[in-house]
Amino acid sequence: MATIKSILQENRIFKPNDNFVAQANLLNKKDYSSLCKEAEGNYENFWGRLAREYIQWRKPFTRVLDESNHPFFKWFDDGVLNVSYNCLDRNLECNSDKTAIIFESDEGNITNITYRELYLRVCQFANGLRSLNIKKGDRIIIYMPMSIEAVVAMQACARIGAIHSVVFGGFSAKSLHERIVDTAAVAVITADEQMRGGKGILLKSVVDKALTMSNTDFVNSVIIYQRTGTHIEWNSVRDTWWHQLITDKPDYCEPEWVSAEHPLFILYTSGSTGKPKGIQHSSAGYLLGAMVSMKWVFDYKSTDIFWCTADVGWITGHSYVAYAPLAMGATQIIFEGIPTFPDAGRFWKIIQDHRVTTFYTAPTAIRSLIKLGSELPGQYDLSSLRLLGSVGEPINPEAWVWYYEVVGQSRCPIVDTWWQTETGCHMIAPIPGVVSLKPGSCTFPLPGIMAAIVDETGHEVENGEGGLLVIKRPFPSLARTIWGNPDRFKNTYFPEDIGNKYYLAGDSAQCDSDGYFWIMGRVDDVLNISGHRLGTMEIESALVANSLVAEAAVVGKPHEIKGEIIVAFVVLKGPSPKGENAKQIAIELRNWVSKEIGPIAKPEEIRFGDNLPKTRSGKIMRRLLRTIGRGDEITQDISTLENPAILEQLKKSAI
Ligand code: PRX
């Protein structure tokens, strides 16, 4: 295999500061290495011990790991538990009056809810679901705004053993329909409307539309949370208002005790090609991973005000909004709106107003906030922050340093967390009291996660060489299968040609000489320029390191001689340049990249735009950029695109 060249040079190191270390959950290298040693020494004992420590079992397990049906692993499988019991009932004793959720609506209204209140609301709603004859194992689609109710809906499903599948509120009727059909859901929980940036976005009417499409007869109930009171069409056979469903329902609901392996949820993740995959997670293994990582990586303390900005429609919003914070008894922020409404100071104001200690967001949000007002955080009191986190894509070193200096005021470690929908929780991430940080590196695998970098035959590569990121041993929070398609699960994640029974993440990565992991992007984002394989991320980082550039995405365009040439789509900090000015800046940027990483990485074409095409979770849709770069017509599905208008602008952007 042609080695993936790594050309990114990042030598800055940030040691954890003394004040942080003094209060950290894992205090020193000794604690940390003894955990790693314990995991290496007796893998099953290690996970078994943690599962006993973190989870409250109805019936304890006697077996830790069953690998007999590779790769369909089972963890703790004769144990019995309920995930909602672990998130709610266990908090009634000590945290009953503690605030579980501080909800801030789009327009700025604030609702606080204690653990006791949340528990009562989940019980009532779970009884409501049972009154509709919804039972253990039934699939329920949740299509809701960020709200306390969305969490109540997820927890209520867990309480009665129903399997939820949350569909992000920005998905189209077609995508929603596809998920309803694939899960054969018996109910859909939705809202009349959601509010984002001062605008109402209809949800119930999208559900109606999805249910008029073929093959949805198995949906018996649609439950509607009234968010704004806007008019909705009413189907008297299947529609029920949330508030009417819970009227007179008892506020105790006996949990459905399920096996550790009972599916907790299905969450769809779109590959770059093909039909979305319904990633199916277990109950106990998933919960354990989410809790342990919250303790280690977020250094969770009971006094924290935790804020993960992800929508519950994504895995991050499952693990670090709906499950881990509650299971750990945390107080967390849930925010309905967007970072730029009413102005670009909204995130910073929320941190100031609620004294947020732990802030977890995505590089795309960080970069757009830099563009919108690099000086804004300085106008707010961010002194409550003690830890920052990043997730979703590689964070460019320049954005990292801005986040560290301007938001964290050089006081807060940044945990750059590498993981996936499939892994359920953090896999490679710093333990912040112990690990020195390098901007752009997610540092080291967590104790018990046997990550490595291999070539296409499954052999480990030397430090400094790029390759495929794998995890060599099964781990509790790993997805169990693709819903209804076990063969696809096996072929995608445990392909025969890797040969070693490793979990194949689909990302390329390298380790540097200190053993730090650097994620170079999805395998399908790798460019092949004159026989050199280059990660798109490194070229993007170089572009963003130029003081004019806010954001950049790089794609390959087929070329007869070179294999591929590089096309860079660039968003400047100021307005998009035109004419001669654009030409001048393009030359400057090409020379810049050439100087930063060498002529091989010099973009052949540079195109400027006001923005980049992104999914609603903020991922750049490189496949659309590839099509535009080649000058082809866009025929792909763009229903998940946040800002479709940008495509027209970029098509005309060639200079
Ligand atoms: O390519 C990696 C990138 O996001 C992919 C997983 O996407 P998804 O399943 O949507 O989950 C996102 C939230 C966990 C990975 O295969 N990715 C995620 N986190 C990072 C990252 N790339 C680099 N650094 C990260 N911290």
pTM of the predicted protein model: 0.88
pLDDT of residue 309: 97
Q: Ligand 1 pocket test: pick from 280, 391, 523 the residue with the most ligand atoms within 8 Å of its Cβ.
A: 391
Atom 18 of ligand 1, nearest CA residue: 392
Three-state DSSP at 172 gives coil
Q: What is the pLDDT of residue 3?
A: 46
And the tokens for 460? Answer: 């480990």
Q: Distances in Å between the alpha carbon of 124 and those of 130, 244, 250, 334? A: 10, 11, 6, 21
Q: Which atom of ligand 1 is nearest to the CA of 429?
A: 26
Listed as ranges, residues in the chain with pLDDT below 50 are 1-3, 272
Task: Give the per-residue pLDDT at 42.
Answer: 96
Beta strand residue intervals within 356-498, DSSP E: 358-361, 387-391, 414-417, 451-454, 466-471, 481-482
Strand-strand pairing, 358-361 and 387-391:
parallel
State the burial class of residue 371 (Cβ atoms within 10 Å of its Cβ: 0-12, 13-18, 19+).
middle
Which residue in the block uniquely carries the two structure tokens 């109950």?
A: 283
Going from the Cα of 570 to the center of ligand 1, the distance in angstroms, rounded, reads 22
Q: Cα dihedral sign for 579, 584, 589, 594?
A: positive
Ligand 1 binding residues, C-beta < 6 A: 269, 315-316, 390-394, 416-421, 442, 505-507, 519, 522
Contact status, residue 365 vs residue 550, Cβ threshold 8 Å: no
Atom of ligand 1 nearest to the CA of 416: 26
Q: Is 346 helix (H, G, I), strand (E, B) or coil?
A: helix
Q: How far apart are CA 300 and CA 328, in angstroms?
A: 8
pLDDT for 275 equals 74
Place of tokens 């020494």: 41
**Please, is 324 exposed, middle or buried when counting C-beta atoms within 10 Å of its C-beta (0-12, 13-18, 19+)?**
buried
Angle of the 173-183 helix axis to the 204-212 helix axis, nearest 10:
60
224-237 pLDDT tens trace:
999 999 999 999 99
pLDDT confidence of residue 531: 64
Residue nearest to atom 5 of ligand 1 (CA): 420
pLDDT at 343: 94
Q: Strand 221-225 and strand 187-191: pairing? A: parallel
CA 522 to centroid of ligand 1, rounded, Å? 9
